[in-house]
């Protein structure tokens, strides 16, 4: 059976792929979801083991400090590994490019967020909003700094005492800040069940996409074009 010229145009734009239920749109590919889950598990393990080392009540409850230290060291060292492995996937590289683009619509989103302006159209966003982009950039920088300072604390023979003291100070306070930022990230995720469903299943409701990410939603692809330039 042959198709007539132009027959795939409007139909392809409005009909969801066979794998997607009607009224839902694909948001995250499987490699992206796997990297997110693995990184989240390692980050939570790292934060939990750090809490068991620094909170006396937890340290007393858990015990086995040497084992907790080993878990903390290796979980922290492995945090970047899922992302590095996931770079082999085109879908993850495409999402990272979008996260790395900051345009005029992102600045408008931030101004509206600071004013707590929730009017329709006040917070334009592509596939990722400005808050998600800032969070991704901050957490990536924090992981690199904590990995570097953690290695100085781990391999004590490679740096003088003054460096190790400074590394400990930076590592501890940055870890506390990272824990608070992660708690905020989790709280925002739990406040938005559809966003969680998108990361869990890969698809989101079409109306949610148009409301929360109007420059990315199907039929309104300008945001993707801006972010991919």
For the stretch 137-194, pLDDT in tens is 999 999 999 999 999 888 888 888 888 899 999 999 999 999 999 999 999 999 999 9
For 14-28, 97-111, 127-141, which range has the lowest pLDDT when averaged over its residues? 14-28
Give the residues across from 25 on adjacent strands.
204
What pLDDT does 135 receive?
A: 95
Q: How many CB atoms lie within 10 A of CB 138?
A: 13
> Mean pLDDT across the chain, nearest whole number?
85
Q: Does residue 98 surpass a pLDDT of 50? A: yes
What pLDDT does 56 receive?
A: 84
Q: Does residue 130 surpass a pLDDT of 70? A: yes
What pLDDT does 19 receive?
A: 54
- How far is it, in rounded angstroms, from Cα 102 to Cα 137? 11
Average pLDDT, integer, range 33-62 = 91
What pLDDT does 7 receive?
A: 45
Question: 121, exposed or middle or buried, with CB in 10 Å at 0-12, 13-18, 19+?
Answer: exposed
Tell me which DSSP letter residue 191 carries: T
Percentages helix, strand, coil for the chain, rounded to the nearest 5? Answer: 70, 5, 30
CA angle 144, 129, 201 (to 5 degrees): 85
Average pLDDT, integer, range 91-117 = 94
DSSP string, 183-196: HHHHHHHHT-HHHH
Helices 193-201 & 30-54, crossing angle to 10 degrees?
A: 110
Q: Does residue 14 surpass a pLDDT of 70? A: no
Tell me which DSSP letter residue 202 carries: S
What pLDDT does 218 receive?
A: 57
Question: 169, exposed or middle or buried, with CB in 10 Å at 0-12, 13-18, 19+?
Answer: exposed
CA-based nearest residue to 173, from 63, 3, 54 = 54
Tell me which DSSP letter residue 108 carries: H
Burial 171-182 (b: 16+ CB within 10 A, else e): beebbeebbeeb
For 58-62, 70-74, 124-128, 138-142, which range has the lowest pLDDT when averaged over its residues? 58-62
For the stretch 200-222, pLDDT in tens is 999 999 999 999 999 996 544 44
In this prediction, residue 59 has a pLDDT band, given cuts at 50, 70 and 90, of confident
């Amino acid at each position: 059976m042959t198709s007539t010229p132009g027959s795939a145009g409007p139909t392809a734009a409005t009909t969801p792929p066979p794998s997607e239920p009607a009224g839902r749109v694909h948001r995250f590919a499987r490699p992206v979801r796997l990297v997110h889950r693995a990184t989240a598990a390692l980050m939570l393990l790292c934060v939990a083991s750090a809490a068991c080392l620094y909170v006396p009540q937890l340290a007393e409850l858990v015990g086995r400090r040497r084992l907790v230290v080993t878990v903390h060291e290796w979980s922290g060292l492995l945090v970047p590994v899922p992302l590095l492995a996931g770079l082999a996937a085109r879908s993850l590289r495409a999402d990272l490019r979008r996260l790395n683009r900051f345009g005029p619509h992102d600045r408008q989103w931030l101004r509206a967020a600071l004013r707590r302006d929730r009017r329709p159209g006040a917070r334009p966003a592509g596939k990722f909003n400005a808050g998600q982009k800032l969070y991704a950039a901050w957490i990536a920088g924090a992981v690199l700094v904590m990995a570097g300072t953690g290695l100085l604390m781990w391999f004590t023979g490679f740096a003088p005492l003054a460096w190790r003291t400074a590394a400990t100070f930076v590592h501890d306070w940055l870890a506390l800040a990272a824990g608070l930022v992660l708690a905020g990230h989790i709280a925002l995720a739990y406040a938005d069940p559809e966003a969680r469903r998108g990361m869990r299943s890969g698809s989101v409701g079409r109306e949610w996409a148009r409301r929360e990410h109007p420059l990315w939603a199907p039929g309104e692809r300008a945001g993707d074009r801006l972010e991919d330039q």
